Structure 1
Amino acid sequence: MADEPEEPQNPFKGTPFEQFFAQGLGGMAGPGGAGGQGMPDLNQLFGQLQSMLQPYDGPLNWDVAVDLARKTVAQSPDPSPTSAQQAAVADALQLADHWLDATTSFPSGVTTTAAWSRAEWVVGTLDVWKVLVEPVARQSVGALSTALPEEARAQAGPLLGILGRAIGMLLANQVGSGIGALAGEVLSVSDVGVPLAPAGRATLVPANVTAFAAGLDVPEQDVLLYLALREAAHQRLFAGVPWLREHLVGAVTAYAEGVDVNVEGIQQRVEEQMRGIDPAQLGNPEAMQQLLEGGMFEMPDTPAQKAALSRLETTLALVEGWVDEVVGQATEGRMPTAAKLQEAVRRRRAEGGPAEKTFATLVGLELRPRRLRDASTLWGSLRTRQGVEARDGVWMHPDLLPTEADLDDPLGFREGATAPTELSEEDFDAELRKLLDGPSDSAPSDEE
């Protein structure tokens, strides 16, 4: 009797992906295999996967993402802002900056103003989206191989590479549809808490401002001015605190880098998912999407991720609370509708609307300042007791910022401190170093 054909070697044997790829190889065997010899036609499998891919750099295909975002935006009317709308936005931002001059020690951070359509918002924020999304995408794509032993990784390299690019393509579709949906809701480039445009470019989206105003019993020109005040305040803070932008973006990156693979959990999910999916259809985008939606690559939060998330949420609350506080100062006695608008914006930001949920889907975490009211109270109390300079001076270094515990008692932050006195540069450096380093048996370094 002729020898039975050898079963194809599974390079994932002994790994969490053994069942997945054993079925993937075996499912291609039999009469339909290459030459009718019961061997899997790997060329056919690779060809099916490769046919759905286009060459691209990075963890996901941004051309696909942008194209889908544009198509999502185009599902509803998206006219370019008129010259009158452009002028109205520019005037509102100019007036807002003038009002803010008396509320903060930070100078204006606005260098250019613009009114964008939703499609223009997609294109204008793309560079920052890449910085925010790619770390998460890279970890998601890389999770498939990093969970394997080195020897299995070497044997399965080609298949992993193609699957990684297929996953990258699916992520591009998710990112594109998410950014497109977000473009239909955001009011400005600072609306999600992280500035999404180049430094100094203050921008509002008139179509979305009009939609937001429609739900309020407030004149639209008041809504526009109030949102311009918030945008200009964001610009001042990020311009006056050079480390802040990188601090927030770095927290997102730290979250992505903290992704850890739950090997046992993935094995269980793979086995469950593969029972209902024909491995020969792995080249089918819908089949791959079904795997992803089933949680195949869903990772639990690690301690590093939780720490990054806590730091991010607290900093976002402090940013939004500071903006809330200075805008409250600026509108006091000038805008009777300000209290109503403040409450509408607070509720929108604190409760987390569709925009925040979409952002959470894109970067893998929620950027929602749950403690906005506490942060606003903290900044206002500090200003009342010690003045504007003391309040704004807290932003000098990230280690000086209030903590989550400080937000639990916002009126008690720096309660025993007095207003700052005039210090020489050397004295200031020494005091700051002492505060940041804490007690030490050794003398502090003189290095900058």
Structure 2
Amino acid sequence: MVDWGLAVAIGSKLAGEGPTVTRAEAGSVVAELRADAVRSTGLVRDFTGLDAPDGTAPLLVVDRPGWVRANAEGFKVATGPMMRKLVEKREPHRISQMIGSKVTGAEVGGLLGFLAGKVLGQFDPFHDPAGRLLLVAPNIVHVERELDVDPSDFRLWVCLHEETHRVQFTAVPWMRDHLFSEIEAIGETLDPGSLLEGGLDRITDAIKAGRQGGSIIDMFSTPEQREILDRVTGMMSLLEGHADVVMDDVGPQVIGSVKEIRAKFTKRRQGIGTLDRILRRLLGLEAKMAQYRDGARFVRAVVDKVGMDEFNAVWAEPAHLPSKAELTDHDGWVRRVLG
């Protein structure tokens, strides 16, 4: 149903190679990022109280094509529940007749190619057995040059955020399985027929809505799916906001220019062009930016109110994760979880 090889080929071509560096410079960047990721583990543990076991979730410093390959593998796993649902309904042949694996492969490749030039780092929870951490070296170099910030400070700042994600998923053993169960739940709600009927019209409507902030995800969400997506939004906002708090609050201890970096980085997010902004909205990336903001506010508010030790009750079980509504009602979460 999806030509993954074609997706990787198209995505890698669209992604480009990134900034020009010498072989020696590239080697130095990779070595520094690896060292910064290792250093970040202890900094994250001391600040958050989360202790991740050693030897889990390997670190990969990759180029843009490497990120595309890794995420194609992740997409294949993430879409597994939907594919199984279609097989159960005996729909693959009908779908392949209508759209074809090469068409879907090209679409996925275009998405990966667009994102590959923007992502600085990522925790990939879909890689067995415990996930893996990806740092995209050319993008980190590109942004540090664009912002004109201290390269060593910026690299450690990025590593603090991404290493926090690795710690979240490896120190909290149920987190990965919980994410998989939510994806499985979405797959169970899919109606293969409805995905095919009027699909082009839905995408066209999503493009129009994208100018006002809608996304393709919104167009394909039933009420049941929205309920699941709201739970996932609460979880992902917590993870992203928690990582942002770590990178900014630990930063002053070890990163002299952290305030300058944050100010310039935030301004850069606001300065994207019109086409880029529409694409981000269509793909739901504007919502992801809100996750950073809302999640960080939630974490700071709860920690300020009850302290880090009490806040860490959020990691005890899935029921303790904040709902989407509780992201802006931290007192409600405190009452529900901490009594």
Q: Same fold (TM over 0.5)?
A: yes
Q: Does the CA-based 8 Å contact 1:78-1:117 persist in structure 2?
A: no
What CA distance in whole angstroms lies between the structure 2 residues aligned with 1:349 and 1:311?
Answer: 26
Structure 1 residues 376 and 187, CA, compared in 2 at 3 Å: closer, same or farther? same
**Overall identity of the aligned pairs, in %:** 24
Task: Report the secondary structure of 2:120's partner residue.
Answer: coil
Q: Distance in 2 between the 1:249 and 1:417 partners?
A: 23
Q: 1:66 maps to which residue?
A: 8
- Aligned residue identity for 1:205: V
Where does structure 2 lack aligned partners over 5 or more consecutive residues?
A: 206-215
Alignment partner of 1:302 out of 222, 234, 243: 222
- Describe the SS at the equivalent of 1:202: strand
Contact 1:188 1:231 in 2 (8 A): yes
Sort the Cα spacing of 1:109 and 1:377 in 2 relative to 1 into closer, same or farther, 3 A.
farther
CA distance in 2, matches of 1:253, 1:78: 42
Q: Which of 181, 202, 221 is equivalent to 2:114?
A: 181
Gap runs ≥5 in structure 1: 1-58, 147-156, 271-289, 419-434, 436-448
Structure 2 equivalent of residue 394 of structure 1: 314
Which residue in 1 is equivalent to 2:77? Answer: 131
Question: SS in structure 2 opposite 1:114?
Answer: strand
Shift of 1:99: 2.0
Q: Secondary structure at the match of 1:103?
A: helix
Contact in 1 for aligned 2:186/2:228 (Cα 8 Å): yes
The SS at the match of 1:203 is strand
- 1:233/1:326 contact within 8 Å kept: yes
Match of 2:40 in 1: 96
Residues 104-134 of structure 1, C-alpha deviations (whole Å, 9 max, x = no match): 2211467443321111222233321212245
Distance 1:110 1:349, change over 3 A: farther
Q: Which residue of 2 aligns with 1:247?
A: 178
Q: For residue 261 of structure 2, what is the amino acid of its counterpart?
A: L
Q: Secondary structure at the match of 1:375?
A: helix
User: Aligned equivalents of 1:416 and 1:255: distance in 2?
Assistant: 26
1:233 to 164, 169, 174: 164
Deviations 1:272-314 (A, max 9, x none): xxxxxxxxxxxxxxxxxx899667xx96421111112211211
Q: How many residues align?
A: 320
Structure 1 contact 258–305 (Cα < 8 Å) conserved: yes
2:235 to 311, 315, 318: 315
Greater helix share, 1 or 2? 2
Contact 2:314 2:320 (C-alpha < 8 Å) held by counterparts:
yes
Q: 1:75–1:390: structure 2 CA closer, same or farther, 3 Å change rule?
A: closer
Is 1:332 paired with 2:252? yes
Residue in structure 2 matching 1:224, options 116, 135, 155: 155
Change beyond 3 A, Cα 1:404–1:189: closer
Tell me, yes or no, if the aligned pair for 1:89 and 1:224 is still in contact at 8 Å: yes
TM-score, L = length of structure 2? 0.76
- The match for 2:330 is 410
Q: What's the C-alpha RMSD, in Å, of the aligned pairs? A: 4.2
Which amino acid is the alignment partner of residue 140 of structure 2? V
Letter of the structure 2 residue corresponding to residue 71 of structure 1 = K
Distance (Å, rounded) in 1 between the aligned partners of 2:187 and 2:268? 26
Q: In structure 1, what is the Cα distance between the partners aligned to 2:110 and 2:225? A: 25
Per-residue CA shift, 1:174-217, capped at 9, x if unaligned? 01222122222211123xxx646553633311110012223324
Query: Offset at 1:410?
Result: 2.6
What secondary structure is seen at the aligned counterpart in 1 of 2:60?
A: strand
**Is the CA contact (8 Å cut-off) linking 1:188 and 1:204 kept in structure 2?**
yes
- The equivalent position to 2:28 in structure 1, one of 84, 94, 104, is 84
- In the alignment, the residues of structure 1 paired with residue 102 and residue 255 of structure 2 have an alpha-carbon distance, to the nearest angstrom, of 49
SS at match of 2:47: coil
- Correspondence for 1:278: none
Q: Shift in Å at residue 350 of structure 1? A: 9.9
Amino acid at match of 2:100: I
CA apart distance, 1:402:
1.9
Deviations 1:33-81 (A, max 9, x none): xxxxxxxxxxxxxxxxxxxxxxxxxx31212222222332357678888
**Whole-Å Cα distance in 2 between the matches of residues 250 and 349 of structure 1?**
32
Judged with a 3 Å threshold, the aligned counterparts in structure 2 of structure 1 residues 72 and 234 are, in CA distance, closer, same or farther, namely same
Secondary structure class of the residue paired with 2:51: coil
